[in-house]
Amino acid sequence: MRRKRYIVNGRVQGVGFRPSVYRMAAQHGLTGSVQNTSLGVVIEVQGKEEALAGFEEELRGNPPPLAEITRIQTDETTPEAGESGFIILE
């Protein structure tokens, strides 16, 4: 079990990006969260290695039509025990 944090910059707020990330995470069976912040859109996802790789490939290659990603910063973080789903945070 691994956990990754992505900070996504560009035109990613107000274009349906968070719901799109939610669908991608659910499709890959990942837990975690997505939220808009002053840093950009922050995504934390947790799951098996192959699911994380599939999520990242889709995130980079299939953003929502109105989104324009200029940068994705990725960090490995500590897995969260007991996390049961993926949520969109305010």
**C-alpha distances in angstroms, 5 versus 65, 66, 72?**
23, 23, 10
SS3 of the chain: helix, strand, coil, percent, to 5: 25, 40, 30
Catalytic residue among 36, 60, 62, 71: 36
Burial class (CB in 10 A: 0-12, 13-18, 19+), 81: exposed
- Annotated active-site residue 36? The verdict is yes
Dist CA 32 CA 22 (whole Å): 9
Catalytic residue among 3, 5, 18, 62: 18
Active-site residues, by number, are 18, 36
